[in-house]
Amino acid sequence: MSNTPHTHKHYPDGEQHAHPHDRPGGHNAHHDHRHDHSHHHHDHAAPTSQKRLLVALIVTFGFAFVELAGGFWSGSLALISDAGHMMTDSAALLLALIANVIGQRPANAAKSYGYARAELIGALLNSVTMIALVVWIIVEAVQRLLHPEPVNGLGVMVIAVIGLLVNVVSAWQLSHDHDNLNSRAALIHVLGDLLGSVAAIAAGAVIYYTGWKPIDPILSIAVSLLILRSTWALLKTSTHLLMDGVPDGLNLEAVAAEISATPGIVELHDLHVWSIGGKRTALSAHLIIADANAWPRMILQLNAMLEEKYHINHVTLQPAWLSEHEGENVPMIRISH
């Protein structure tokens, strides 16, 4: 298939000259409609996401200082590590909020896709900071196992219970944005805190009733490993999408088979599917079709199928048809004689 338009080319007898602008439902008209529609959908969810992030940020940041002070007062590493989680959570929530705001900026001449990928960058940065925090907590926990320090079990329990309630509120706020990778990154931070609070309560209870101090660093390590697993998965996803990888849950071979099975399509080339950011998924492909006159109907059929089955809402298709007399592909452009 040749992607380079020919300057002069005669069509076979009886075959009309075609230009995208001359055909209703042609590529350009379709592309503009889909692009605007996806922006409209994306912007409606933005204020709600930002409000949830802001509420979670205020609640988390306010209690982080309380828990940090309580950790030093009681001598509990579980509380200090949980406070550390909450501090990084506050930074993560702030980063997520900033990325969300930037992500809503409209496209311009320099950023033709807009700024939606700012949220992916925010998710990536949050993942990296979370991994760094987990490593620090594990190192501190090992030191505590080797050199135990006195811990006030009752104080740990009281502060950890309050922290648990705070984390539940924050997690509930962010759980409604599960489709947003940026919010998911912030949610993993908060869920890490929630698990940390549960671990701190358990550690405080064991120390208060039995006096066994190693439980504090042991539970800190256990929670950190659980958080590391989720964070690593998020890091892989955000990196994958920033590298223009096929979005999770979307089978490229299935999409190709579905397009190729459309009546009138002879061949499919250069199929690409990637995430622009948020809920916007893009697709581009080169198609060889049997009949140029059938293209308006085919493109409507393809658009409906891609949106309904695969949630692909930013489609760019380049069609060409076979020249019966010369056996080569003819681009769908107006040819001057």
Say whether pTM exceeds 0.85.
no
Longest Cα–Cα distance of the chain, Å, equals 94
What does each of the 337 residues of the chain score in pLDDT, given as a tens digit?
444 433 333 333 333 333 333 333 344 334 434 444 434 444 445 667 788 888 888 888 888 777 778 778 877 776 776 677 677 778 778 877 887 788 778 878 888 778 878 878 888 888 888 888 889 889 988 998 998 888 888 888 888 888 888 888 888 877 776 666 667 777 877 787 788 788 888 988 998 899 898 988 898 888 888 778 878 888 898 899 889 999 988 999 999 999 999 999 999 999 999 998 777 899 999 999 988 888 999 999 999 999 999 999 899 999 998 755 555 555 555 433 3
Per CATH, domain 20-33+247-331 is 3.30.70.1350 = yes
- pLDDT at residue 8, rounded to an integer: 35
Architecture of domain 44-242: Up-down Bundle (1.20)
User: Tell me, what's the pLDDT at 73?
Assistant: 81
What does the domain layout of the chain look like in residue ranges? 20-33+247-331, 44-242
